C-alpha cells in the first residue's frame, strides 16, 4: 500500500510500504476513505516532536471502512464505516474508566502518527477497535464526521467544557485557527452573551465571524483587553480560552479573565509561559489544561448528525489521497491560502 512516511525533520514521502496486519486480537484493519492534516503534523515535520522517528506513517484522523478484525473484536465488523479518533481507548485502565483516555495507561491515548503508524495511508491498524472507533451515521458525509477525529472534541472538552461556559457568559477566545473556530462552535451551544475572537490574522477573524463570534479583535492593531472590558463593565471575560500555544497568548488569556473567571488552555506549548501570581493570587481564577480525552465524541456525533453543528464549514480544500505534497503545502501556508481543514479522500 501507499502511505505518507516521515523521514526526519523536513522530509516526508508518499511511498510504498507493507500493508498493516492484525498483531493483537483487539485490532482492526481499516481502509482509509478520508483523512486530514493537523497543525500537530506540521510540528512533527519541523522536528519538534522527537518521539516521532524516521519511518513513521503520519496522521491521527480518519474515516474509513473496516477490512478485517482480530478474534477479540466484538462490535466492529468488516464493512462497517467508522470514525478513527485521534485518541485510542484501551477501555480498561483507570483513566479510560474515568473518561480520561487521553491519559490511557493501557497502550492507548494519542498514539497514531506518533508512537504507532498513523492514518495518512491507504490502510491503518487500529488497536482496541471496539472502544476506539465510532460507527459513521447514515446520511452524513464522511468528511463532516472526520472533523470529530480531533478538532471538535479537543476544543469542546479542553476549551468549552473545561472552561465551564454557561448561558450569558462573555467568552474570549484567543486564536481563530481550526481549534479556536471549534471552540466558537462549541461555546455557541451554551448561548453565551458574547464571543470575542482574537487573532493576528484578518482572514482568520473573518472565519471567526462566520463561525459565530460577534466581536473580533486583531491584537496586532487593537487592544483586546479594552474590547473585553468595555463589554463587561471593566471586569473581564467569564471564560477565556487559549487556542494558540505561545507564552503571549496564555498570558493574554489570563489578563482577559474577570475575577473568579475561568481560563481554559488548549494550545500546545513549547516554551514556558509566565503566570503572574503577584497579580492573580487575589483574583479567584481557575486555570485548566488538557489533552483531549474524546469522551464527548458520542455527543458531538449527535450534534453533527442532527445539524446543530455544521462540521462542513471547516473544510476549505479537497485532494486525492496521493496529493499529500500539495495538501501539506496548502495547509502549511494557511495565511495565504485561507486553509482551515484540508481533506484527502480516496
Q: Could you tell me the three cell numbers for 230?
A: 468595555
CA-CA distance, 307 to 303, in Å (whole number)?
Answer: 6
In the complex, the smallest distance separating the C-beta of residue 129 from ligand NAD, rounded to whole angstroms, is 22
175 binds, among Zn ion, ligand NAD, none (CB under 5 to 8 A by kind): ligand NAD
- Among candidate residues 119, 11, 106, the one with its CA nearest the CA of residue 57: 119
Which are the contacts of 103, defined by CB distance < 8 A and separation ≥ 6? 95, 109, 291, 293
Q: Could you tell me the three cell numbers for 231?
A: 463589554
Q: Give just the sign of the alpha carbon dihedral 18, 21, 23, 29.
A: positive
106 binds, among ligand NAD, Zn ion, none (CB under 5 to 8 A by kind): Zn ion
Size of the site for Zn ion (CB under 5 A): 9
Alpha-helical segments (H) within the chain: 39-46, 94-97, 129-132, 142-146, 151-154, 178-188, 202-211, 224-231, 247-256, 277-280, 297-305, 324-332, 334-337
- Binding string, 270-309, against Zn ion, x = CB under 5 A? ----------------------------------------
Where b means 16+ CB within 10 Å and e means fewer, 115-133 reads ebbbbbbbbbbbbbbebbb
Minimal CB distance to ligand NAD: which residue?
177
104 binds, among Zn ion, ligand NAD, none (CB under 5 to 8 A by kind): Zn ion
Exposed/middle/buried for residue 281 (C-beta within 10 Å: 0-12, 13-18, 19+): exposed
Binding site for ligand NAD (CB under 6 A): 39-40, 150, 154, 158, 174-180, 198-201, 204, 219, 243-246, 248-249, 266-268, 290-292, 334
φ and ψ of 245, to 5 deg? 105, 30
Binding flag, residue 52, Zn ion (CB under 5 A)? no
Minimal CB distance to Zn ion: which residue?
38
In the complex, the smallest distance separating the C-beta of residue 36 from ligand NAD, rounded to whole angstroms, is 11
In the complex, the smallest distance separating the C-beta of residue 306 from Zn ion, rounded to whole angstroms, is 25
Interactions with Zn ion, residue window 149-168 (CB under 5 A): 150
Interactions with Zn ion, residue window 92-111 (CB under 5 A): 93, 96, 104, 106, 108
Judged by beta carbon, residue 254 or residue 340, the one nearer Zn ion is: 340
C-alpha dist (Å) from residue 127 to 29, 70, 83, 120? 9, 10, 13, 16
90 binds, among ligand NAD, Zn ion, none (CB under 5 to 8 A by kind): Zn ion
In the complex, the smallest distance separating the C-beta of residue 332 from ligand NAD, rounded to whole angstroms, is 10
Binding flag, residue 87, Zn ion (CB under 5 A)? no
Judged by beta carbon, residue 4 or residue 243, the one nearer ligand NAD is: 243
In the complex, the smallest distance separating the C-beta of residue 336 from ligand NAD, rounded to whole angstroms, is 12
Query: Would you tell me which residues interact with Zn ion (CB under 5 A)?
Result: 38, 40, 90, 93, 96, 104, 106, 108, 150
Amino acid at each position: 500500500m501507499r502511505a505518507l512516511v516521515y523521514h526526519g525533520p523536513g522530509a516526508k514521502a508518499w511511498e510504498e510500504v507493507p500493508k498493516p496486519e492484525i498483531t493483537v486480537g483487539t485490532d482492526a484493519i481499516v481502509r482509509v476513505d478520508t483523512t486530514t492534516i493537523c497543525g500537530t503534523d506540521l510540528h512533527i515535520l519541523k522536528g519538534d516532536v522527537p518521539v516521532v522517528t524516521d519511518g513513521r506513517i503520519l496522521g491521527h484522523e480518519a474515516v474509513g471502512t473496516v477490512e478485517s478484525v482480530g478474534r477479540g473484536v466484538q462490535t466492529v465488523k468488516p464493512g462497517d464505516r467508522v470514525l478513527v479518533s485521534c485518541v485510542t481507548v484501551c477501555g480498561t485502565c483507570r483513566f479510560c474508566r474515568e473518561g480520561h483516555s487521553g491519559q490511557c495507561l493501557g497502550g492507548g491515548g494519542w498514539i497514531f502518527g506518533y508512537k504507532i503508524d498513523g492514518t495518512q495511508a491507504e490502510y491503518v491498524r487500529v488497536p482496541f477497535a471496539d472502544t476506539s472507533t465510532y460507527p459513521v451515521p447514515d446520511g452524513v458525509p464522511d468528511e463532516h464526521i472526520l472533523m470529530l477525529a480531533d478538532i471538535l472534541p479537543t476544543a469542546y472538552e479542553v476549551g468549552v467544557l473545561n472552561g465551564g461556559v454557561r448561558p450569558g457568559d462573555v467568552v474570549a477566545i484567543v486564536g481563530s485557527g481550526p481549534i479556536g473556530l471549534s471552540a466558537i462552535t462549541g461555546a455557541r451551544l451554551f448561548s453565551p452573551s458574547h464571543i470575542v475572537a482574537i487573532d493576528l490574522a484578518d482572514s482568520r477573524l473573518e472565519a471567526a465571524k462566520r463561525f459565530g463570534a460577534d466581536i473580533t479583535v486583531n491584537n496586532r492593531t487593537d487592544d483586546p483587553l479594552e474590547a473585553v472590558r468595555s463589554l463587561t463593565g471593566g471586569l473581564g471575560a467569564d471564560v477565556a480560552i487559549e487556542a494558540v500555544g505561545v507564552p503571549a497568548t496564555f498570558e493574554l488569556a489570563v489578563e482577559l479573565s474577570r475575577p473568579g473567571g475561568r481560563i481554559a488552555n488548549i494550545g500546545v506549548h513549547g516554551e514556558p509561559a509566565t503566570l503572574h501570581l503577584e497579580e492573580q493570587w487575589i483574583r479567584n481564577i481557575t486555570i485548566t489544561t488538557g489533552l483531549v480525552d474524546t469522551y464527548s465524541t458520542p455527543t458531538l456525533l449527535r450534534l453533527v448528525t442532527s445539524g446543530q453543528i455544521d462540521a462542513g464549514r471547516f473544510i476549505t480544500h479537497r485532494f486525492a489521497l496521493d496529493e499529500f505534497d500539495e495538501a501539506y503545502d496548502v495547509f502549511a501556508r494557511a495565511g495565504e491560502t485561507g486553509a482551515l481543514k484540508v481533506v484527502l479522500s480516496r
